[in-house]
């Protein structure tokens, strides 16, 4: 899509609307007030011409959210949507910016170990590793397609805690800047298994404190003096097998997964159990972290940590449908590091 054409079209629509009758002015005042409040809340600033363009997108997104929530109120949807900081983005702009998992579906990286089910272990009906201290606070990748790095550090943070009893926040920026030789592309995307391989061969990854997040590609500044954790490889969960993923989450800890997060419903998710029939099990574009699972009456769900800050979803988390034929591909490319 040519953004210049879309931009010109939207500006024309806004300009034409200024010629409407006096009865429309009141509505426009309301729209302008909501738009100004949105910009103030999320610290958005635009040149005057682009401001019209972004306001039109904002109003269209508000309309989509309202339509969905009307179905939610009637009990026809199990999750609700809400306006957030992405409200001024066109759909494809959002995807290009935020979803950075490289779509090398089932092209497993070298040296991975196949997952084996634990013997004689009872799998609990529900698990939440946040309650056990395995999970760091929700982070924010900002406008960098580095979701893969956050998914990787999240799983490694959990495994390091499992082994040492110490929760250390690890450096996503270290992975962004230093793992390109393993096939990752920084803010243009990457794969969690390749990040785990980098950490193994590098003999460590720095702490977030020593190598803070910048949200852009940079020169590698890894220092072995600041190692926060390391791994000896990674384990791949059998493709598309939610039962095996459940076993791994229950017995190992937080697991890195890739999902299809390309829908408006995911972009504006705000609560409830996410159920998107249009989700693909193969077109995976976003790396996240499964930190638990459970059941609400008859609806099974995964507890998933995202990397879009705490203003998105349920304080940065989403409940995704479980046992619905691998919806959104949540079990299609799951793995965790060996520590």
Active site residues: 147, 286, 306
Local structure of residue 324 (DSSP, 8 states):
S
Dist. CA 176–CA 141, nearest whole Å = 11
How many CA atoms are closer than 13 Å to the CA of 174, on its beta-carbon side?
28
Please state, in angstroms and rounded to a whole number, the distance separating the CA atoms of residues 160 and 323.
29
Interior/surface letters 271-290, b for 16+ CB within 10 angstroms, e for the rest: bbbbbbeebbbeebbbbbbb
Q: Where are the alpha helices (DSSP H) in the chain?
A: 3-17, 22-41, 48-73, 91-98, 147-164, 172-178, 192-202, 242-251, 264-267
Query: Cβ contacts of residue 50 below 8 Å, gap of 6+?
Result: 7
- Which DSSP string do the residues of 249-288 spell out, in sequence order? HHHT--EEEEE---SHHHHTEEEEEE--TT--SS---EEE
């Amino acid at each position: 899509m040519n953004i210049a054409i879309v931009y010109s079209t939207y500006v024309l629509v806004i300009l034409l609307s200024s010629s409407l009758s006096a009865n429309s002015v009141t509505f426009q005042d309301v729209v302008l007030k909501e738009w100004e409040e949105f910009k103030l809340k999320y610290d958005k600033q635009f040149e005057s011409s682009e401001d019209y363009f972004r306001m039109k997108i904002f109003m269209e997104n508000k309309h989509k959210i309202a339509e969905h929530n009307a179905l939610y109120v009637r009990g026809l949807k199990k999750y609700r949507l809400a306006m957030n900081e992405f409200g001024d983005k066109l759909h494809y702009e959002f995807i290009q910016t935020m979803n950075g998992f490289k779509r090398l579906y089932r092209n497993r990286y070298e040296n991975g170990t196949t997952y084996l089910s634990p013997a004689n272990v009872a799998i609990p009906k529900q698990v939440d590793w946040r309650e056990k201290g395995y999970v760091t606070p929700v982070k924010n990748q900002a406008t960098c397609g580095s979701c893969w790095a956050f998914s990787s550090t999240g799983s490694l943070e959990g495994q390091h805690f499992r082994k040492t009893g110490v929760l250390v926040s690890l450096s996503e920026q270290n992975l962004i800047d230093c793992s390109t030789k393993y096939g990752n592309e920084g803010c243009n995307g990457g794969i969690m298994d390749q990040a785990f391989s980098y950490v193994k061969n590098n003999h460590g990854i720095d702490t977030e404190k020593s190598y803070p997040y910048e949200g852009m590609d940079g020169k590698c500044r890894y220092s072995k003096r600041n190692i926060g954790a390391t791994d000896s490889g990674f384990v791949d969960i059998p493709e598309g097998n939610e039962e095996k993923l459940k076993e791994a989450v229950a017995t190992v800890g937080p697991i890195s997964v890739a999902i299809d997060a390309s829908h408006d419903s995911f972009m504006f998710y705000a609560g409830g159990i996410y159920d998107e029939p249009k989700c693909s099990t193969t077109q995976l574009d976003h790396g996240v972290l499964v930190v638990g699972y459970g059941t609400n009456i008859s609806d099974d769900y995964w507890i998933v940590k995202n990397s879009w800050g705490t203003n998105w979803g349920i304080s940065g988390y989403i409940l995704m449908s479980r046992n619905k034929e691998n919806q959104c591909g949540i079990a299609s490319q799951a793995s965790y590091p060996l520590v």
